[in-house]
Structure 1
Amino acid sequence: MHALLSRLRYASVGAAVFLSGCNMEVLNPKGDIGADEKSLILIALGLMAIVAIPVIVMVLAFAWRYRASNKNATYAPTWAHSTRIEVVVWTIPAIIIAILAVITWRSSHTLDPYKPLESNAKPVTIQVVALDWKWLFVYPDYGVATVNEIAFPTDVPVNFQITSDSVMNAFFIPQLGSQIYAMAGMETKLHLIAREPGSYAGLSSNYSGEGFSDMHFQAIATSQDGFKDWIAKAKATPVVLNDETYQALAQKSMKVPVAYYGSVAPGLFGKVLNKYMDGMQHEGLPHEGPPHEGMSHEAMSMDMHHHADGDAMSSPITAAKAEK
């Protein structure tokens, strides 16, 4: 037993050393979604601990009580069943699973990343394109774009429209919450809000090749005046993001520094989406010219069908299926 306790002591010290280098950003939220997700994690952890902690304690207690040197321990080689034990080991986990099921169902709807946040403030829209290996951000309402840096006011919802011009990535700002995938030919959505000013680390949380480990960006939450200054700084940059400069940017590169584009070619985000849509048009761009050859009238109608929430989707493959 003494040897076991010594091993546990050394394991605890080792875990503390390794965890000392971890930045527990998920457990230090700065926005409503992140705070709700933290509460969900802690509630689930507490419920699971109701089973895990007693089991750990009993394993240690049984090992000590029934050690070979304890001649006073009851020896019952024919023991096979106890109704009381069966009731305990089945009833308590069943109750915990039922509670977790209810919490999961409710939180899946409450924290739906596609669900707009309720606020009196006008949201800021940011279009996100995952590239190899950097993030491109377009502000359609302001006509500017950036690489590996975004900014937005505190207490204002941020509506992210996300896609990829490469392999699948995952967009994640841990302190604000809700990882969501970026996929070529698909538009995923995410709604976040920051309640405290600061610079929050963002990253790709899905392995996407050689430069994945450096695919980071900064999310700056600031005041309204600070946001206006940041937009003015971007607009003052003489570089234009058009088809030519975009093609150069889209080439594979690693550890790309922050960059600003003072103006953006209209419809750039839609063009990136449409590259992979086999002739069907994204909702953000008007249909130009005759229908795609080979597409029936019914297919064209389905291409722009409307959902109950009023959003027009560009493909018969819905965003919900894309998430799966």
Structure 2
Amino acid sequence: MNISNRSPVTGARGRTKQHVIRRGLPLLILASALTGCSDGHISFLDPQGPIARAQYEHFWFVIGMCMIVVLPVFIFTPIIAWRYRYHGKAVYRPSWAFSKIMDTLIWGVPFIVVAIMSYVLWQQTTKLDPYKPLDGPKKPLQVEVVGFDWKWLFIYPDQGIATLNRLVIPVDRPISFRLTSASVMQTFFIPALGSQMDVMNRMITRLHLKASHTGTFKGRNVQYNGKNFYKQQFDVDAVSAEAFDEFVQRVKQQGQPLGREAYTALSKRGTSEEVARALGLDGDTVRFSRVSSDLFSTIVNSPHADWAAPVARPPRAGPAATLENDSTHPGTTAPVQAIPLKHATRASSLPQSDHPHGETAQ
């Protein structure tokens, strides 16, 4: 078939396709590059605290050290292929077997790189230990974090308040987190502030962070825990000390008590929007006042896990009974969660677990 007889429509389509690719590819690359520039600060490559800043610098240090090994491969591979090509003018040495200089470079340079990276990694691991309190003149703010399916509860024990899926912290003040899960294992992560931490049922893990700048950051659960895992995100507002005090007073005045009805809604599998609807609130902003100071310990010590089959049990004495019998009516018992026998021991009777595997509440 003569090429000149090809349909002009086919040629036009081909040119149009090439035009779209040529014009669209740069825009796609630009859009991808700008995804890290949003106001949400969703990446540790946009650090907003000292921990994230140290991780950011360590990341680029590792990249730079790896380039010492990687770049020569990419540079010299095409050079060698061209120099020793068929009919090339390079010297033909069929008996060549060993070069002291080449052997030293091939083995010595990677060894030095690995040794340097190992030393720096050991230093950074000790320096950035998430259990290590941050230095500073200000007293750390205590925040207790409870992971539910699929939402986060933030308890401020010293202030007597709590929020759902919104963490408000004062800027330039260390934050000391105690974390647990009321369900399956989850992972607490604020990329802009650094250091993710696993949270587990009936165990306590710790984390220390600080925000260096005011702003709104994104936090999330990065451990799959069910169909709505992708919705388990929260906002972190880093504000001035004055704004934080105003926030605390506003929650104390406008928040609702975290009592029986509220905890029943929290303990059900669902998003923060579903909790808000269950409590008769608009939107997904849920704030609690008059929060019990031992709520976190009560949740940790409770042997009832959300992932176990529900059975009816009589109410038991102890601080957890207040929460377990919230939705009962006179003459009935609360449906609570049964757990496998191997998990049935109360957390307070278990031996203390050392870092980094978490600890049990007392």
Normalising by structure 2, what TM-score? Answer: 0.71
Letter in 2 for 1:159: S
Q: Tell me what 1:263 maps to.
A: 290
In structure 2, do the counterparts of structure 1 residues 119 and 27 end up closer, same or farther at CA, with 3 Å as the change threshold?
A: same
1:14, 1:206 → 2: CA distance?
33
Kindly report the root-mean-square deviation, in angstroms, between the aligned alpha carbons of the 2 structures.
3.2
Distance 2:147 2:272 in 1: 14
Change (3 A) 1:111 1:236: same
Alignment correspondent of 1:22: 35
Structure 2 residue identity aligned to 1:22: T
Give the equivalent residue in structure 1 for 2:14. Answer: none
1:234 paired to 2:270: no
Of 303, 307, 315, 2:351 maps to 315
What TM-score do the two structures reach when normalised by structure 1? 0.79
CA contact 1:186–1:319 (8 Å) conserved in 2: no
Larger Cα Rg: Structure 1 or Structure 2?
2
The residue that corresponds to 1:173 in the other structure is: 190
Structure 2 residues not aligned, in runs of 5+: 1-21, 37-41, 274-283, 306-317, 320-345
Identity percentage of aligned residues? 34
From 192, 202, 207, the counterpart of 1:190:
207
Q: Which runs of 5 or more structure 1 residues have no equivalent in the other structure?
A: 1-8, 279-284, 287-299, 305-313
Render the CA deviation track for 1:231-266: whole Å, top value 9, x for unaligned: 122112342112442132121113632311122133
Distance 1:65 1:211, change over 3 A: farther
- Using the alignment, how far apart are the partners of 2:45 and 2:183 within structure 1? 31
In 1: Cα distance, 2:28 partner to 2:106 partner: 30
SS in 2 for 1:26: coil
* Structure 1 residue 208, shift from structure 2 partner: 2.0
The residue correspondences of 1:13-52 to structure 2 (distance < 5 A) are 16=29, 19-20=32-33, 22-23=35-36, 25-52=43-70
Tell me the residue number matched to 1:272: 299
Check 1:210–1:60 CA distance in 2 against 1; reply closer, same or farther (3 A cut): farther
| Mapping 1:185-224, distance limit 5 Å | 185-224=202-241
Question: Taking structure 1 as reference, are residues 98 and 114 closer, same or farther at Cα in structure 2, changes over 3 Å only?
Answer: same
Return the alpha-carbon distance in structure 1 between the equivalents of residues 30 and 84 of structure 2.
34
Query: Residue 35 of structure 2 aligns to a residue in which SS?
Result: coil
* Distance (whole Å) between structure 1 residues aligned to residue 225 and residue 97 of structure 2: 52
Q: Does 1:105 align with 2:141?
A: no
Equivalent AA in structure 2 for residue 57 of structure 1: I
Report Cα offsets for 1:31-84 as digits up to 9, x if no partner.
11111111111111111111111111122323343445x533455555444332
Residue aligning to 1:134: 151
Paired residue total? 287
